[in-house]
Chains A and B, each alone.
Chain A
Amino acid sequence: MKALWITLTFIVFALLLGIPVVRIAGGAWDDGWSGFAAGLSRPEAVHALMMTGLIVVIVTAVNALFGVMLALYLVRAKWLGTQLKRIMNSIVDLPFAVSPVIGGLMIVLLLGPDTALGSLLNKAGVPIVYALPGMVIATLFVTFPLIVREVMPVLQEIGDQQEEAAHLLGAYAWTTFWRVTWPSIRWSVVYGVVLTVARTLGEFGAVLVVSGNIINKTQTATTLVYEDVENFNLTAANAVALVLAACSIGLLLFMEWAKSRKAS
């Protein structure tokens, strides 16, 4: 019975995940190595992959920093009222509940070139919407809960007594964090970071709305795949998609490893 279920699960996963990957891989090699290489070496493909890489780096860095900070505040800060904490806690979950497209739309509505704030920033030389900052903000919005939600339960579980013990031994906040808190949460942070990278690599809806999908300017890997498919340029689409899929598999393996470290 158990064997049957395991087999069944396996088959479902193979159908859902395996076959598409194989098809993408196959599609990318339709015209052999040259087709794959050509699809990837197009200037717009190189630019889109660079763009995605840049967004991944910025978003992951910002998210790791602020995610850990917010988790610490939400769990530890005594000066934040319980009520305020509860509200902030639900706000953190907002991106889970809101569709990324709507998230992107909110950014356009708030910071678009037609809004007061947007035009002001535009004049100051920092365009938000249809530019990198907007895409970063949109991706941040989508991925923000991932690290916070990984770290908060661990902080709750370890409690604050080890930190208090460190204070009484003379350690101030910074030392206490790095020597006492961080070793306990680092694998959760790593796990959250992996999730963030994966989500950022694959983010489509919010970025599409905010970026305007301008070729060689605000196009990312996912929006390029979308455009290639629209233009029936399937080999090129498969080539880019295969790179993304390879990253995902790499991340998945890394994630498993991080999870085992987190558990120990």
Chain B
Amino acid sequence: MHVEVRGLNKKFGDFQAVRDVEFAIGKGQLIGLLGPSGGGKTSILRMLAGLEKPDSGDILFHGRRVNDLPPQERGIGFVFQNYALFKHMTVADNIAFGLQVKKWPKPKIKERIAELVELTGLAGFEKRFPHQLSGGQRQRVAFARALAPEPQLLLLDEPFAAIDAKIRHELRSWLREMIDRLGITSIFVTHDQDEAIEVADEIMIISKGKVEQKGTPWEIYKNPQTPFVASFIGESTVIEDIASLKGFEAAASWPGTKGLIRPEYIEVGKENEFILLSATEAGRVSHVHFRGSEWLVEVQVGEIKLVTYRSLEKKVLQPGEEVRVLVHRAYLFNDNDNWVMENKLKEDPLPVHI
């Protein structure tokens, strides 16, 4: 289903939970709504579902305005954050509910249950009650129940939040696969960026009720359009006095400009590890932490503290050691503007012409 939202606003009392939200989603896409808790993600989902009435704005499915359509008529599958399974019904009855309500003939209902139980790997659990299932199994029941009446749009509110980390990974890829197979347009909410990046075709970053940016995970990572997005996606350190770093002196021509640097923008090592020594800063290692697959290195460069990773293959750095630090790029921003600046000294100052 093609979904479009225009100028959506929602207030709870005096609190503006959703603010001028606009977006369009193509058929068959899997979209992740990502943002901090309390940002308004659930509210957006609930308005799409018709559980909450927007104060203003239009919601269009297939180009048709559905604002006045009750939730019963919207043809949406919804997976609640805590699943909201019917606790006095068995797994099979939970899945059958939507079909019975729609007066499907009995044999067809039976067939559909069998199909969904197979799809969600719940075979053998049909007669169990929700309280007799594990978290992951409940999630699958919620998924099966939502999919049973063949909805055109699937909404999932933090579908993995209540599941322990290990199974969460499995479920994520399972969900991705399932949605690809069914080709159903889906929107899922999460506050976990790894989850969004791993699962979604496109991410919408939501903060304080606004869509900060919409794009593929790579686009958002590479080209964050607001300081909020830049600091929310990935890890980063904000540097007040970015112009004091070698290669970024030009930043001084925009007063009030700050820099944001990610660990992966920085290289740290001994002098012999760099070809362009002139572009590097002198620094001192203040801490190293073992992170399983790499070292997390904290270095002090003048007044500035930077954080970066270092491969386990390279020579181990010790706290207190003098090192060279190369900052490849920084994301600069001030009140009016934001852009990515490459280290100016990285371009060889004395190019050799042949």
A: which residues have CB within 8 A of B? 161-162, 164-172, 175, 179-180, 183-184
Contacts and interface: CB of A to CB of B under 8 A. Distances in A.
Contact of A162 (B49, B51, B86): B86
B214 to A, nearest CB: 25
Nearest to A161: B84
A169 B84 CA distance: 12
A140 B77 CA distance: 44
B232 interface: no
A162 B77 contact: no
A185 to B, nearest CB: 11
Contact of A166 (B73, B74, B77, B97): B97
A183 B94 CA distance: 14
B87 interface: yes
A172 B76 CA distance: 15
Contacts, number: 58
Interface string B246-262: 00000000000000000
Contacts of A162: 84-87
Contacts of B72: 167-168, 170-172
Interface residues of B, number: 25
Contacts of A172: 72
Interface in B69-86: 70-74, 76-78, 80, 82, 84-86
A180 B71 contact: no
Contacts of A175: 101
A170 B149 contact: yes
Contact of A169 (B51, B82, B87, B97): B97
Nearest to B103: A170
B88 A184 contact: yes
Nearest to A163: B84
A83 to B, nearest CB: 13
Given A171-B72, A171-B97, A172-B72, A165 B149 contact: no
A172 B102 CA distance: 11
Nearest to A182: B88
A175 B98 CA distance: 11
Contact of A171 (B49, B82, B101): B101
Given A175-B101, A179-B97, A168 B77 contact: yes
A164 B51 contact: yes
Contact of B49 (A166, A168, A180, A183): A168
Contacts of A183: 88
Contacts of B70: 167
Interface of B: 49, 51, 70-74, 76-78, 80, 82, 84-88, 97-98, 101-102, 145-146, 148-149
Nearest to A172: B72
Contacts of A165: 78, 80, 84-86, 145
A180 B149 contact: no
6 A-B pairs closest in CB distance: A169-B98, A161-B84, A183-B88, A170-B101, A165-B84, A167-B71
Given A168-B71, A169-B145, A171-B72, A161 B98 contact: no
Nearest to B13: A82
Contacts of A168: 49, 51, 71-72, 74, 76-78, 146
Contacts of B77: 168
20 contacts: A162-B86, A162-B87, A165-B78, A165-B84, A167-B51, A167-B70, A167-B71, A168-B74, A168-B78, A168-B146, A169-B98, A169-B145, A169-B148, A170-B98, A170-B101, A170-B102, A179-B86, A179-B97, A180-B86, A184-B88
B49 A184 contact: no
Contacts of A179: 86, 97
Contacts of A167: 51, 70-72
A231 to B, nearest CB: 54
Contact of B80 (A161, A170, A171, A184): A161
Contacts of A166: 86, 97, 101
Nearest to A171: B101
A142 to B, nearest CB: 33
Given A164-B71, A166-B86, A170-B149, 9 more contacts: A161-B82, A165-B80, A165-B85, A168-B49, A168-B51, A168-B77, A168-B78, A169-B146, A170-B101
A187 to B, nearest CB: 11
A165 B82 CA distance: 11
A54 B310 CA distance: 85
A169 to B, nearest CB: 3
A184 B49 CA distance: 25
